[in-house]
Structure 1
Amino acid sequence: MTDVLGWRKLLGVIAPSTNTVVQPDMERMRPPGVTNHLSRIHVEDPVALSNEDFIAGTTAIAENTLDAVRSVMTCRPDYLVLGMSAVTFYGGVDGSRRFKARIEAEAGVGATTGSEAVAAALTAVGAKAVSFVSPYYPVANAEVRRFLEESGFAVRRDRALQCRRWTDIAKVTPETLREVIAQLDGDDVDAIVQVGTNLSMVDLAAEYEGTLGKPVIAINTATYWHALRACGVSDRLRGLGRLLSEF
């Protein structure tokens, strides 16, 4: 017997408790027969005033992730989608792999992290040189840069928006992001990446792929796409960018 609604796959989606973007984003990407089951990582919404504050906040997310994993596993999902990003980049490629291994060992099922999904997406679209934007502080952008460079991509430019609260990330407007994209684009990059799962950029990324003629990778799109493909779900979805419609 199979789940009546999730007759193809049950996906456990893990996100910080302050995150208001992952859940609606990933619901939009859900094909028929696949259901999402959100589990929240308890975290406070502190004010970040420095690199040190930001690292402390993301460390708290990492420390509480396993509790959220244990909770969602009670509904017996087939696979986990990790809807948080900063900590998945820490420590470069080896650090990312260690983090994922901890999650999978606890869950007993496979998982997709934001960092590996971004790397897989860039590989799929054939990107070599990239720029990226995040809501992070510079210390975390340095970790993203390290991961991307260790994964074989040249990073030309990056922007850290330095959002002071986790909930402020979801308040960054499309107008602000349009200005950032203009700064990140150039003839020396063949893809633009957005990280930070509470930063809403799925629709904007899809729009700019059309206007710029190059891949614009939103991390929530990349993460859900990677999870679907890892589960053998190959549906092509229109209107949400090239990853879901072509790969």
Structure 2
Amino acid sequence: MRFENRGLARIGVLVPYTNTNLEPDLMRMRVPGTTLHVQRMGGYDVDEIPGAEQMAGLGASDISHDLRMIAGVRPDIVLYGCTSATLTHGPEFDTNLANNISDMCGARCVTAAGALVEALQALGVRRVGFSSPYLGEINRQAVHFLQSQGIETMHCADIGRELGNYGQGELRPDDIHDLACRADHDQAAAIVLSCTDMRSVEVVDHVEATLGKPVVTSNQAMMFCLMRALGLPRHPMVPGRLFDCL
């Protein structure tokens, strides 16, 4: 009998407890020989609309218990799987959180927000079309976050209605393809689909074929960054032009 080697890398994942799409996306893109170990995070009211205040609260919440649980598997890298939780605080907060996670877990850390920036820099992109399942302030904070890292948002598209904590994950891939196309702009060199609970990974190749430009999503960007950090090989299940940069 032949068995899969599970010793290539252990990946710790911190994910908001209502998120239903980050884990399937990571399993879809997982490099053979790596393993995923997930800890779900609380720190927010599931019945509230996830606006800027709620996401900022999640980012600032105490995750020391969650980190102790993740540290138990002795991960090689830890993913912080909520984009807006650190976008709402800014780049310095995002960097400090990643450093704190690394210190507590004894592993490298990739945040979803930081991964978007690293992925766009790897592509050499300075102008983007941006979209997310959020309205208003979170999108403004996201645009500011990217701008502070030298990335200009040429057009921002939102979903057009308030979604609850489960509503983001229930968007259909066709909805997300439409959202991505509405974010496009003549001067945008790439499209950003921000949110770890949106089914964006499934539409990357389709959107790229439609618009003729690279697409960067939160979950895809985290996988790219961890593969690059750990020197893991490309394989057929990772979508998009981004992985040409490995």
Establish whether TM, by shorter chain, passes 0.5. Answer: yes
Q: Report 1:30-69 matches (<5 A).
A: 30-42=30-42, 43-48=44-49, 54-62=51-59, 63-69=61-67
Segments ≥4 residues shifted beyond 4 Å: none
- Structure 2 gaps of 5+ residues are none
Q: Quick check: 21-30 or 172-181, which moved more?
A: 172-181
Residue 107 of structure 2 corresponds to which residue in structure 1? Answer: 109
Q: TM-score, with normalisation over the residues of structure 2?
A: 0.89
Q: Distance in 1 between matches of 2:211 and 2:96?
A: 36
Q: RMSD of the TM alignment (CA)?
A: 1.9
Matched, 1:15 2:15: yes
Structure 2 CA distance for aligned equivalents of residues 95 and 160 of structure 1: 25
Verify the 8 A CA contact 2:74 2:105 in the aligned structure 1.
Answer: no
Alignment gaps of 5+ in structure 1: none
Q: How many residues align?
A: 240
* Conservation of the 8 A alpha-carbon contact between 1:13 and 1:39: yes
Identity of aligned residues (%): 26
Amino acid of the structure 2 residue aligned with 1:23: E
Relative to structure 1, the CA distance from residue 107 to residue 141 in structure 2 (aligned partners, 3 Å threshold; closer, same or farther) is same
**Range with greater deviation from structure 2 (187-196 or 68-77):** 68-77
Q: Normalising by structure 1, what TM-score?
A: 0.89
Q: Conserved in 1, the CA contact under 8 Å of 2:122 and 2:245?
A: no
1:84–1:196: 8 Å Cα contact kept in structure 2?
yes
Q: Which of 225-234 and 11-20 deviates more?
A: 225-234
* Aligned partner of residue 122 in structure 2, secondary structure: helix
The alpha-carbon deviation at position 68 of structure 1 amounts to: 1.8
**2:140 match:** 142
CA distance in 2, matches of 1:12, 1:79: 6
- Tell me, in whole angstroms, the C-alpha distance in 2 between the residues paired with 1:177 and 1:223: 19
Q: Which residue of 1 aligns with 2:197?
A: 198
Whether contact under 8 Å (2:176, 2:199) holds in the other structure is no
Q: Which moved more, 1:125-134 or 1:97-106?
A: 97-106
Cα contact 2:82–2:112 (8 A) shared by 1: yes
Distance in 1 (alpha carbons) for counterparts of 2:107 and 2:162: 33
